[in-house]
Structure 1
Amino acid sequence: MTLGIIFNPTAGRGRAGRQRARLEDGLRRRGVPFRLWETPAPATGAGLALRAAAQCDAVIAAGGDGTVHEVSAGLLEGGGNRPLGVLPLGTGNDFARAVGMPPGLEEALDALLAARPACIDHGRLEADTPLGRLNRTFVNGVGIGLDAEVAARAMQHKRLPGVLSYLVAALRAVPRWEAPVVEVTLEPGEDDEQRWSGPLLLLAVGNGPSAGGGFRLTPAACLADGRFDVCRVQAMPLRRVWPLIPAALRGQHGHAPEVALERVRELHIRTMRPVPVHLDGELLTRAAHTVRLHVQPGGLRLLRPCYDSK
């Protein structure tokens, strides 16, 4: 099997670029045929994934969550059913963690080469913004509200390791957050609909259990259950927000009365005041006024390590 490697040298605060030689050497030592494409700039991963899918048997995202997002988007839009693989070289690596990939390069290579194709869910998003309607796919999760604002600010702190960049961003974003009033429609099943409206702190939609480098906002999420897990947090006094941050790192925030954890197939959000939205940890827009999310069960082939992991 020939692997097509989409390699992001800027992932992990630039550390990934220093691992290219080790990656290529590790594949050669294991006798693995491969071709490698290096992303020359942001937003080029999807096009390279399409090129790799036409020439290789599997396409591997070697980078962080942003690289996974771009490569999976390319495969979902026209990758000819080639499976996606992941080598975690980024800052957050939330999707790789959900897949069960170990963090070290040598261990990750061994796990990848022992992996077997499995079908997992992915999501589709439609968002109405002042610039028009945006249509995107995602594999790990979506954040709306403060969650997205923190993700955007964390991009300014990429030199900090992993979850620390998100913690610093949260400390700066939380005191300045003005909660918008939103209307949320949740559809757990075909003939079931639930509604909620009120001032929103954040709404996290998880295909995987964590976001932001390890915040377990949707701790029970599974990549292959045909549902999104939703963490909806209504606005609260600032003094109550701070204790929720370490609790969310442990996935123990669901006890708070302002937090609701739900499982749905589809949801719609409307707001009078535009809100920020992130997609797989990357800021999509700061000005969405409607967002629609749909789960696509079993729509993505993934090379998954051969041990039980969500």
Structure 2
Amino acid sequence: MSQFRNVVVVFNPAAQTGRLAHLEPNLKDELHATFGSVRFHCTEYKGHARELAMELGAEVDLVLAVGGDGTVHEVGTGLVEVGSRVPMGILPLGSGNDFARALKMPMEWKEAISALSTGTLRTVDTGYSRWKEEGKTRECRFINALGVGFDAFCAVIAPKYKGWPFGIGYTVSILVALKSWISSGATVWNLSNGKEPIFSGRMMFTTIGNAQDSGGGYSINPKALVSDGRVDACVVENCSIMRSLSLLPATREGKHLTMKEVNYHQLEKMLIDTDRGLPIHADGEVQSLEARSIEVSVVANSLRVIVPKSAPEVL
């Protein structure tokens, strides 16, 4: 029997384009056998997982996010928003599962349940962003990564290709986006100690990572650690479509940092000033299409998670 006695399960049956719904009976059986009595909640609309985490997070020993990166985003940010110290566990059943990989979770669901039942508690960082949009200040939190520019434009397009076989949907969305994307003039500032410019020019995109992977396995921030008190910013200058096509496979393997268009920084706080409004996403969830003056900062030691006993000390 698991060390956790009071578990809430937040299950997104719409993950993997609805293909998870048939797993619900088997999941319930396995979770009850492992954790004993669990409260099982199916999400019904966007934002529901976040509401459940905020409402129930203070009452239980563990909140288990069952789904993909969107479910992890909602559950994790909900717990952080209310200052809960209840840990989040991840049962990775989505298309990307980027943050689950950062925590070294098994990708097979029965193995993941077993790993969670005997896992260990860790405290990790999360991220926070605020920006200007139509004269108002907006904000969001993120667990895994925040993207600005082309990265977020791909997230706008990606739902059209979600569920494509072999996990190629996000790659297809990148290729489609390349045809119409226009880079923006931008200045990126390091605000960790004062205000230091670290990039100025035509920016294709900036991906700010708490973890290494985003977009379903693209290692855009290969030096990122989830508990180092920093975020990693990969700023990519404007480049031709042909050059972009060489950048794509390099980011898949995390081998792009030596390319001349890539600027890489590790910092606690940053600001992106642009000459026009840009799209931004948090953990693949589109937050804005017209964001300006985008501040991003790390929120150190803000989320408790369960990782396998075999996970390395440094994640």
- The answer as to 2:245 corresponding to 1:242 is yes
Aligned to 1:93: 97
CA shift for structure 1 position 193: 2.8
CA shift for structure 1 position 191: 5.2
Q: Confirm or deny: 8 A CA contact 1:50 1:79 kept in the other structure.
A: no
CA shift for structure 1 position 160: 1.1
**Residues 106-130 of structure 1: CA deviation (Å, up to 9, x unaligned):** 0110111111211100111102112
Aligned partners of 2:154, 2:24: CA distance in 1, in Å?
Answer: 30
Kindly provide the amino acid, as one letter, of the partner of residue 259 in structure 1: V
Counterpart secondary structure, 2:198: strand
**Residues 233-264 of structure 1: CA deviation (Å, up to 9, x unaligned):** 00012221101111111111112101112111
Q: Confirm or deny: 8 A CA contact 1:94 1:140 kept in the other structure.
A: yes
Kindly provide the amino acid, as one letter, of the partner of residue 243 in structure 2: R
Alignment of 1:288-307 (within 5 A): 288-307=291-310
Aligned to 2:276: 273
Kindly provide the amino acid, as one letter, of the partner of residue 195 in structure 1: I
Counterpart secondary structure, 2:252: helix
Aligned to 1:208: 211
**Residues 206-225 of structure 1: CA deviation (Å, up to 9, x unaligned):** 00100010110001111000
Counterpart secondary structure, 1:49: helix
Aligned to 1:197: 200
Kindly provide the amino acid, as one letter, of the partner of residue 251 in structure 1: G
Q: Choose which of 259, 263, 281 in structure 1 pairs with 2:262.
A: 259
Q: Which moved more, 1:126-135 or 1:100-109?
A: 126-135
Aligned partners of 2:124, 2:28: CA distance in 1, in Å?
Answer: 28
Aligned to 1:285: 288
- The answer as to 2:51 corresponding to 1:53 is no
Task: Give the unaligned 5+ runs of structure 2.
Answer: none
Aligned partners of 2:90, 2:83: CA distance in 1, in Å?
Answer: 16
**Residues 264-309 of structure 1: CA deviation (Å, up to 9, x unaligned):** 1111011121111010111111110111011011111111211234
Kindly provide the amino acid, as one letter, of the partner of residue 2 in structure 1: N
Aligned partners of 1:157, 1:205: CA distance in 2, in Å?
Answer: 24
Kindly provide the amino acid, as one letter, of the partner of residue 267 in structure 2: V
CA shift for structure 1 position 32: 2.7
Aligned partners of 2:83, 2:165: CA distance in 1, in Å?
Answer: 33
Q: Confirm or deny: 8 A CA contact 2:7 2:35 kept in the other structure.
A: no
Kindly provide the amino acid, as one letter, of the partner of residue 73 in structure 2: H
Aligned partners of 2:291, 2:123: CA distance in 1, in Å?
Answer: 31
Aligned partners of 1:7, 1:257: CA distance in 2, in Å?
Answer: 43
CA shift for structure 1 position 55: 3.0
Q: Confirm or deny: 8 A CA contact 2:239 2:261 kept in the other structure.
A: yes
Alignment of 1:37-48 (within 5 A): 37-48=41-52
Q: Which moved more, 1:16-25 or 1:213-222?
A: 16-25
Aligned to 1:104: 108
Aligned partners of 1:29, 1:270: CA distance in 2, in Å?
Answer: 52
Q: Which moved more, 1:264-273 or 1:45-54?
A: 45-54
CA shift for structure 1 position 135: 1.5
**Residues 67-86 of structure 1: CA deviation (Å, up to 9, x unaligned):** 11111121112153111111
Kindly provide the amino acid, as one letter, of the partner of residue 86 in structure 1: I
Kindly provide the amino acid, as one letter, of the partner of residue 72 in structure 1: G
Alignment of 1:5-44 (within 5 A): 5-44=9-48
Kindly provide the amino acid, as one letter, of the partner of residue 125 in structure 1: S
Q: Confirm or deny: 8 A CA contact 2:187 2:197 kept in the other structure.
A: no
Kindly provide the amino acid, as one letter, of the partner of residue 225 in structure 2: C
Counterpart secondary structure, 1:30: helix
Counterpart secondary structure, 1:197: strand
Counterpart secondary structure, 1:75: helix
Aligned partners of 2:303, 2:197: CA distance in 1, in Å?
Answer: 28
Task: Give the unaligned 5+ runs of structure 1.
Answer: none
Aligned to 2:168: 164
Aligned CA RMSD, in angstroms, stands at: 1.5
